[in-house]
Structure 1
Amino acid sequence: MSHPEENVLLYGLDEPVRPAPAFFAALQHVLASVVGIITPPLIIGSVLGLQQWIPYLISMSLLVSGMGTFLQARRIAGIGAGMICLQGTSFAFLGVILSGGMMVKSRGGSPEDIMAMIFGCTLVAALIPLLISRCVQQLRRVLTPVVTGTVITLIGISLIKVSITDWAGGHQAANFGAPANLALGALTLLVIITLNRMRNRWARLIAVIAGIAVGCVAATLSGNLVLKPLTETSWLALPGFFRFGFAFDWTIFLPIALVSVISVIEAVGDLTANCLLSQQPISGPQFQRRLQGGICADGVSCVLAAMFSAFPNTTFAQNNGVIQMTGVASRYVGMVIGAMLALLGLFPVVGALMQQIPPPVLGGATLVMFGSVVAAGIRVMTQTPLGRREMLIVAVSFGLGLGVEAVPDVLKQFPPLIGQIFGHAVTTGGVLAILLNLVLPSEQPAVSLPQSETLNKGL
């Protein structure tokens, strides 16, 4: 039998949290997401030859993530979900931004021209979630629990792939899969699980931090962590509006606009999982208001990102796993998270220090969180009984979504844009789930005959 306190949150959605617990709870969210926030600008900057501006792009990504996270938690004038909805740089835009940047580069554009075009197009595309947020009631008719649950589950499965890659040593690591890497990740995970199952609330509050700390100490003692000097990292980064100017091109904008629509589907899944884990309703007027405010805040975050020279933002799924692990759903912690991320953006040296956490330690810490996202998706999916129609939707969406991600070459005969957009499980599976939900007719309940009529038909 489960313990009666198993499903009780330590801090509910609107429950104030004292400074010390709030700091430790917020720090775990930051540790779980900071790598995801800074990786897209790092990749885009490296591929497009923007090396000179990479530190600035990373700082602005963190600053905007903090501003968006604070807005989501605080909920100002109906903008924001009023929950811990951590905003971070979206990986979904990576392919279309790279192809657009390459197009500008092939025309002889400078690094500044590339960024002016990217941020101009993403600014206009940010209007899409703002417009969609006005149509939430119609959106809910399309995004039923089986569709939303499928999207959430696919998001979690995709994140687990990232976690396992980190656990083994990280992309392009010379010692990928080394026993020492796997041992570091396992030690980190073991500490988190042990502390999370203790009855002491402080043990649960610091479980992720303690796991990462123990993992870093073990990595240092085994020679897998050697701190690099921070002499080349600036101590302060001052933001500026439209630092690189503004440009626009329809051929670059349209793919970005399509990804903006798809990112709204992911955001709906993340917001639904957040409501479920925060013990809030996932249907009815209150849920619709949260959904509307959350999608609208996503759009505002993308507007801020373009203005401050950062790439488009979206609601991260990582923090849902942290809520599940810590039992802290208070939106006041969300405001602390926002402040911490903004400070990391203004003071890059702190973020540079956090980047030195070994990938196996981060992989061990995030695995259980991302697994929690999968579990939340299954819970949403099974809110209503799954009939033959629903099972078919889930089966086809999972089969094709995960199949395309496992074998991306299946799309290599199509234009590169198709592969960039639909080469991910969340995109392919999510779009399929929506289409099947619209096309497949609902099953009519069988009409039972009276017992006497049934007997007569048997005769």
Structure 2
Amino acid sequence: MAASSIGTPEQLRDPNYTPALHRAIPLGIQHVLAMFVSNVTPAIIVAGAAGFGFGSNSPDFPELLYLIQMSMLFAGVATLLQTLTIGPVGAALPIVQGTSFAFIPIMIPLVAGKGVDALAALFGGVLIGGMFHAALGLVIGRIRFALPPLVTGLVVTMIGLALVKVGIEYAAGGVPAKASGSESYGSMASWAPALIVVFVTLGLKFFARGMLSISAVLIGILVGYVYCILVGKLPFEAIVGSWENSAAFALPQPFKYGIEFSVAAIIGFCLMAFISAVETVGDVSGICKGGAGREATDAEITGATYADGLGSAVAGIFGGFPNTSFSQNVGLIAMTGVMSRHVVTIGAIFLIVCGLVPKVGGVIRTVPIEVLGGGVIVMFGMVVAAGVSMLSDVNWNRRNMVIFAVALSVGLGLQLEVMNTGPTTVSALQHLPDTLRVLGESGILPAAFIAIVLNLILPETLADESTEEVSGGLTGHGAGLKAKTEATAANV
């Protein structure tokens, strides 16, 4: 869709401009297609970690549908906060909000194997963390100095590294199949749908244009879905049963799972809010640069941060997960050249409608775990790539290399040690109080803490900085390529 057919160049750069509806509606749906899979995936992953039943006859199946429903509903609500605004809340920009990947490594240890009972503490953390996130809007401009690309890039990279294991497990047949020692786990029959999704996604990303390229992951999953139906891996009766067992309309229920304030959950969500806030600042800057050719104002950055946090807090009340701005939609604005916030408002309304219709979640839940695995392999790999892109902004002198090395070694080491020992055996942090152990075993929070503290207290140059050669023949001053300002953690 050519930008010139939608409006004049001046109109296209104006967030308050509204194209004609026959143009605006397809553009709004385009924004939804670009983020749809990424938005609902965290709910499925957290439900799987908690041990929810995934069959349509499982007693936990309605709970899984509800989490998917809330992911769509409150992504739409949070997006409306950004586009329509309420007082100082919202940037009045075309910012698309969605469920954040960044919090998944915090959420999984909180719910692992505990079923629905673990959700009260989880959503207590989401509520308090969202309120804390909103409060960061008061000081976001003054705390950015503590989160340079060295820190944010490290954290984003580690978030991706913590998640890539999930993609492989899903593609090989899913965690239940692995835990039961099923012979189907890792078989070619399991891998085939995932590989189809990956290859279709790559083909569309590299060789297609427009909507086909933008929706590559979604189309890849649809192709994998159809493949599973054709080979009998997904019986058509299962799809019909899921549709029939899902309500046509349902409103969200406040405190559906109760509310519990766990110290570990609250600390974890509040600390990750820093990263999410910086991510949103980058996205706001990217939207203003790419769509309007200007810098973001302080009011826009503050309003976006308020909306980020308030949207997450409200979602927590009703059983939704933390929201953040979605970077793929930043790129979409730069590509289409349409800066209209009202176009994104149309997309938000579409998400809200989907969130009020559980049948949509019922169909999403019939996606075979292997098909979803193919999609998340691409998505989580892109999270790692986004972190590496952010790290390319770092001046790689000896000081920064030492900070990165220590933080990465401790954080990634703790992650891997937990993966290898399992939750029922001894761990490196077993003598810590439960709260500190859970936070430490995430790996991400210790790495971020070490990187922030060392970056603040270490001198700008080390005593022997005059020698540029680093162990292994690496040089210590590779500045790297300029990363895109909108490269972020949470999204693809």
TM-score bracket, normalised by the shorter chain, equals 0.7 to 0.9
Aligned to 2:152: 148
State the partner residue of 1:5.
Answer: none
1:232 and 2:245 aligned: yes
1: CA distance between counterparts of 2:379 and 2:13?
19
Tell me if 1:86 matches 2:98. Answer: yes
Question: Is residue 165 of structure 2 the alignment partner of residue 194 of structure 1?
Answer: no
Q: 1:175-220 deviations in whole A, cap 9, x for unaligned?
A: 2222122222222121122222235324313422321222112222
The answer to whether the aligner puts 1:203 opposite 2:216 as a matched pair is no
| Corresponding residue SS for 1:86 | strand
Question: How many Å separate the matches in 1 of 2:123 and 2:215?
Answer: 38
Once the two structures are superposed, the pairs formed by residues 364-383 of structure 1 within 5 Å of their partners are: 364-383=374-393
Summarize the alignment of residues 165-184 of structure 1 with structure 2, pairs less than 5 Å apart: 165-173=169-177, 174=182, 175-184=184-193
Aligned to 1:29: 35
Does 1:130 find its partner at 2:134?
A: yes
Q: Is the 8 A contact 2:31 2:344 kept in 1?
A: no
Superposed CA RMSD: 4.0
Q: Which residue of 2 aligns with 1:422?
A: 440
Task: Write the distance in 2 (CA, Å) between the matches of 1:279 and 1:179.
Answer: 46
- In 2 relative to 1, CA 431–362 (structure 1 residues): closer, same or farther, beyond 3 Å? same
- Written as runs of structure 1 = structure 2, the 5 A alignment for 1:58-457 is 58-80=68-90, 82=93, 83-88=95-100, 90-91=103-104, 94=107, 98=111, 123-173=127-177, 174=182, 175-198=184-207, 200-227=209-236, 228=238, 229-230=241-242, 231-241=244-254, 252-268=261-277, 270-271=279-280, 274=283, 280=289, 286=296, 291-307=301-317, 309-315=318-324, 319-320=326-327, 334-408=344-418, 409-443=427-461
Q: Distance in 2 between matches of 1:430 and 1:383?
A: 17
CA distance in 2, matches of 1:122, 1:192: 32
Separation in 2, partners of 1:206, 1:60: 22
Distance of aligned partners of 1:38 and 1:79 in 2 relative to their CA distance in 1, 3 Å threshold: farther
What is the deviation of 1:233? 1.8
Q: Distance in 2 between matches of 1:225 and 1:321?
A: 30
- 2:46–2:111: 8 Å Cα contact kept in structure 1? no
CA deviation profile, 1:68-98 (whole Å, cap 9, x unmatched): 2332455554434542332359435536865
CA contact (8 A) 2:82 2:89 kept: yes
SS, match of residue 323 in structure 2: strand
Give, in angstroms, the shift of residue 371 of structure 1. 2.4
Whether the 8 Å CA contact 2:315–2:322 is kept in 1: the answer is yes
Give the whole-Å Cα distance in 2 for the aligned partners of 1:170 and 1:131.
39
Residue identity over aligned pairs, in percent, reads 26
Counterpart code for 2:99: Q
1:353 Cα offset (Å) = 0.3
Contact 2:264 2:438 in 1 (8 A): no
- Please give the TM-score of this superposition, normalised by the length of structure 2: 0.71
Residues in 2 aligned to 1:126 and 1:296: alpha-carbon distance in whole angstroms: 9
| Aligned partner of residue 411 in structure 1, secondary structure | coil
SS in 1 for 2:207: coil
* Partner SS for 2:176: coil
Task: Report if the CA contact (8 A) 2:75-2:351 is conserved.
Answer: yes
Specify every segment of 5 or more residues in structure 1 that has no aligned partner in the other structure, as ranges.
Answer: 1-10, 106-110, 449-459
Give the Cα separation in 2 of the matches to 1:120 and 1:187.
39
Q: Deviations over 1:271-306 (max 9, x none)?
A: 36645875849xx97376555334322321233124
| Letter of the structure 2 residue corresponding to residue 239 of structure 1 | P
Tell me the secondary structure at the aligned position of residue 79 of structure 1.
coil
TM-score (norm 1): 0.76
Change in Cα spacing, 1:144 to 1:206, as seen in structure 2 (3 Å) is: closer
Stretches of structure 2 lacking an aligned partner (at least 5 in a row): 1-11, 54-58, 419-426, 467-492
| Contact in 2 for aligned 1:37/1:88 (Cα 8 Å) | no
Do the aligned residues in 2 keep the contact of 1:12 with 1:278 (CA within 8 Å)?
A: no
Tell me, yes or no, if the aligned pair for 2:30 and 2:211 is still in contact at 8 Å.
Answer: no
Task: Find the aligned partners of 2:40 and 2:377 in 1 and give their Cα distance.
Answer: 15
What are the Cα deviations for residues 408-450 of structure 1, in whole angstroms up to 9, with x where unaligned?
A: 22222322222321212322222221121122122289999xx
Alpha-carbon shift at residue 262 of structure 1 (Å): 1.3
Match in the other structure for 2:26: 20
Shift in CA distance, 298/325, structure 1 to aligned 2, threshold 3 Å: closer
Looking at structure 2, the residues matched to 52 and 224 of structure 1 have their Cα atoms a distance apart, in angstroms, of 20
How far apart, in 2, do the equivalents of 1:418 and 1:217 lie?
Answer: 45
> Residue 234 of structure 2 contacts residue 368 of structure 2 at CA under 8 Å; is this kept in 1?
yes
Q: Which amino acid aligns with 2:432?
A: F
| Distance across 2 between alignment mates of 1:12 and 1:371 | 32
